[in-house]
Structure 1
Amino acid sequence: MERLGAAGLAFVATALIGSSAEAACGDQAEACKIASGDYEVVLPDTGTETGAAVVFLHGYGGTGNGVLKNTGMVNALTDRGYVVIAPNGLRRAANRGPSWNFFPGWEGRDEVAYFQELLADAAERFDVDPDQTIMAGFSAGAFMVNYLACQAPETFAAYAPVAGGFWRPQPEACAGPIRLHHTHGWTDTVVPLEGRYLRGRTWQQGDIYAGLELWRDTLGCETHAPGRAWSNGENLLRHWNCGEGAEISFTIHPGGHSIPKGWAEEVTTWFEKAAPGQ
């Protein structure tokens, strides 16, 4: 999201801020500094390190520390041995909150270079393995996830956007292959499944289903129909296995603009499975 109203920002804050978390860079109290920005990190307990990590991007107006305050999500990830990395977006204008420079033509930080630098730094500081690292994000962070996956799919091992896809006009084509785990709320009104206009029709969020069609075309899926469709409690799931290193998992939950309960367990189980479609 480029800009939310007060109600939307309140909803994002509720989704991303839990009880407490400390900004940290290993044994340092401050965020990890790199040339193009900074990031914050929470490490698993000693003895559970696997080299795996989740890089989770905040929504519009958020911060990395705000992500780490979602202790339910963070603890679920670290309990499974994942390093949790929370990057910080930048303000694109003095009157706007921190966000991500994802849309083609915008001026600002080269986000692909930033995330590549972040990964290299985390590998050196914390033994993070890029081949075992998921890039995830919420809302504006999820839009950034999609655009980076489209432009530089080799950067991360898998991509897991929550409540965000592409803006209009969406890319005509993307690079690939990727492993994609997309989660969206059925009643989301901040980023509706069908998209919406922003700032007096200056910008338009894209249709999530159209974005998934682009990914199916990119990955060379044999059919637009999913190979598997099922339910898990109140969640509806679909899966496309499109060849080696190429798959799409799509979960619709009944809630709104939020990270649903159990997301961390679901996405890491998906990431760790032995074979696509399992």
Structure 2
Amino acid sequence: MMRPETRDRILTLGIAIVLTAAKPNAAHASYGECGVPDAPCKLESGEYYVAMPEVLDDPPAVIWLHGYGRSGKAMIQNAAYVDPFIRRGYAVIMPSGRPSINVKDLDWGVADGYDLERDDVAFINAVRADAVDRFGIDPSRILIAGFSRGGSMAWDIACQAPEMARGFAAAAGAFWEPMTTECDAPVHLFHVHGFKDRMVPFEGRELTWEGVDFHQGNVMKGLDVWRRENACLGSAENSFGDDGSMQKDWMDCAAGSIRFKVTKGGHGVPEGWRDAVLDWFEALP
């Protein structure tokens, strides 16, 4: 028959093993299912979704901002977006936008002359802080990236709150008009745009949405803002990809850096872009 003290030691050891195995979630027990696939992490101002890599000790993270009409939940279920980051050891954080002017599709409060109810720069900052606290994200290795309207939101965050991330990356989305002329500090920015993009044309365009007039900004005009802010006023280093893409790198800047890539495609995220962005991000000084 087992002695009481032996039984107590085994019971204590068993409890310790269970608690150790549950460590990533135990600290966040009050958040219910947050962090479990498809379960939202809820904040007062909105929600976000998370996919974690296998290594949970202070992982870097990508905060991905979806395009118009999508959601954090839809994006966290999209393996094409999530898996390339997870394989590289990054946590993936997918916030959800807020209802747009048509009160149906989710959108971001991009600086375009029309204000949504929520301050999305403040919201993403709250998401960042909450994810760092809940999941042990390394705050010094955060990349904020986005596509289309999410890419424009990434530009606005970089301009208004550059301290939020080590680097910013956008695909097919830049500043809207009325375009800012000043930003708070230099940044590291990687922007990719399709030369044939008709949804967000390279040269910008005017459009009317639900009776409201908008003006997408000229991408090169926006890049001039970043060149001034980063003091990247010299010539860029030019390179060409085997896929017909063209790339300009402004690395000899007073602070920050700019990588600008033009592809032959249209409105989308180019194949291999996520790994290219992570290679760039990990090589930042």
In which range does the TM-score fall when normalised by the shorter chain?
Answer: 0.7 to 0.9
* TM-score between both structures, scaled by the size of structure 2: 0.82
Which blocks of at least 5 consecutive residues in structure 1 are unaligned? 1-23
Counterpart for residue 26 of structure 2 = none
Counterpart for residue 212 of structure 1 = 223
Which blocks of at least 5 consecutive residues in structure 2 are unaligned? 1-32
Matched residue count: 249
Q: Distance in 2 between matches of 1:244 and 1:108?
A: 37
RMSD of aligned residue pairs (Cα, Å): 1.9
* SS of residue in 1 equivalent to 2:239: strand
Whether the 8 Å CA contact 1:92–1:108 is kept in 2: the answer is no
Whether the 8 Å CA contact 1:186–1:256 is kept in 2: the answer is yes
Q: Distance in 1 between matches of 2:171 and 2:38?
A: 29
Offset from partner CA, 1:114-168 (integer Å, 9 cap, x none): 1111111101111112210100011110111111111111111110011011112
Offset from partner CA, 1:256-276 (integer Å, 9 cap, x none): 11011101100000000154x
Query: Which residue identity lines up with residue 216 of structure 2 in the other structure?
Result: Q
Q: Distance in 2 between matches of 1:48 and 1:238?
A: 35
Matched, 1:97 2:102: no
Query: Which residue identity lines up with residue 199 of structure 2 in the other structure?
Result: V
Counterpart for residue 185 of structure 2 = 176
Query: Structure 2 matches for 1:15-54, cutoff 5 A?
Result: 25-27=34-36, 29-45=38-54, 47=55, 50-54=58-62
Quick one: higher RCO (CA 8 Å, sep 6+), 1 or 2? 1
Query: Structure 2 matches for 1:1-278, cutoff 5 A?
Result: 25-27=34-36, 29-45=38-54, 47=55, 50-103=58-111, 106-199=115-208, 202-223=213-234, 225-226=235-236, 228-234=237-243, 235-243=245-253, 245-273=255-283, 275=285
- Cα deviation, residue 27, structure 1: 3.5
* SS of residue in 1 equivalent to 2:73: helix
Whether the 8 Å CA contact 2:38–2:49 is kept in 1: the answer is no
Which is higher, the Rg of structure 1 or of structure 2?
Answer: 2
- Cα deviation, residue 69, structure 1: 3.3
- Cα deviation, residue 220, structure 1: 1.1
Q: Distance in 2 between matches of 1:180 and 1:95?
A: 32
**CA 28–77 in structure 1, closer or farther in 2 if over 3 Å, else same:** closer
* SS of residue in 1 equivalent to 2:67: coil
- Cα deviation, residue 48, structure 1: 6.5
* SS of residue in 1 equivalent to 2:140: helix
Query: Which residue identity lines up with residue 186 of structure 2 in the other structure?
Result: P
* TM-score between both structures, scaled by the size of structure 1: 0.84
- Cα deviation, residue 232, structure 1: 2.0
**CA 94–165 in structure 1, closer or farther in 2 if over 3 Å, else same:** closer
The range that moved more, 112-121 or 196-205, is: 196-205
Query: Which residue identity lines up with residue 218 of structure 1 in the other structure?
Result: E
Counterpart for residue 22 of structure 2 = none
Whether the 8 Å CA contact 1:55–1:85 is kept in 2: the answer is yes
- Cα deviation, residue 244, structure 1: 6.2
Q: Distance in 1 between matches of 2:275 and 2:262?
A: 16
- Cα deviation, residue 93, structure 1: 3.5
